[in-house]
Amino acid sequence: EAQVTQNPRYLITVTGKKLTVTCSQNMNHEYMSWYRQDPGLGLRQIYYSMNVEVTDKGDVPEGYKVSRKEKRNFPLILESPSPNQTSLYFCASSPTGTGYNEQFFGPGTRLTVL
């Protein structure tokens, strides 16, 4: 089944404890992206990648890191999480090398930082 997967789906952690949220797609998509969704603010892009080893900042990149060493994987790293990073996170992918086309979303990761 063609899909985007994320792990973990739910995570409760404490301030300052490094964490990684994994994202993987099995559709051979070029483009991958991370979004966060907050009440009243909607979906906002954190980072994106147009291809392997090519990543760039989205609208809200502060406090996050990403890497794209393989085409299928695009992990999101929070090196020192803070409570304001409590949010619902979505990974998405698109078959083309640009984010202007259809994007398909993973199931989401609900993160709580205490």
Partner 1 sequence: QKEVEQNSGPLSVPEGAIASLNCTYSDRVSQSFFWYRQYSGKSPELIMSIYSNGDKEDGRFTAQLNKASQYVSLLIRDSQPSDSATYLCAVGGGYSGGGADGLTFGKGTHLIIQP
In the numeric block, the tokens 């051979």 are attached to 28
Query: Do the Cβ atoms of 89 and 109 come closer than 8 Å?
Result: yes
Which residue, among 89, 62, 92, has the nearest Cα to 74 in the 3D structure? 92
Backbone angles phi, psi at 37, to 5 degrees: -125, 125
Q: Which of 43, 51, 82, 114 binds partner 1 (CB under 8 A)?
A: 43
Contact between 45 and partner 1 by CB under 8 A: the answer reads yes
Least distance (Å) between residue 16 CB and partner 1: 27
Least distance (Å) between residue 60 CB and partner 1: 9
Q: Which of 36, 75, 76, 106 binds partner 1 (CB under 8 A)?
A: 106
Contact between 90 and partner 1 by CB under 8 A: the answer reads yes
In the complex with partner 1, the residue whose CB is nearer, 80 or 101, is: 101
Q: Which residues of 27-48 are buried (b: 16+ CB within 10 A; e: fewer)?
A: eebbbbbbbbeeeeeeeebbbb
Contact between 25 and partner 1 by CB under 8 A: the answer reads no
Least distance (Å) between residue 11 CB and partner 1: 15
Tokens linked to 104: 């398909």
The residue ranges that bind partner 1 (CB under 8 A) are 33, 40-45, 48, 50, 56-59, 90, 98-108
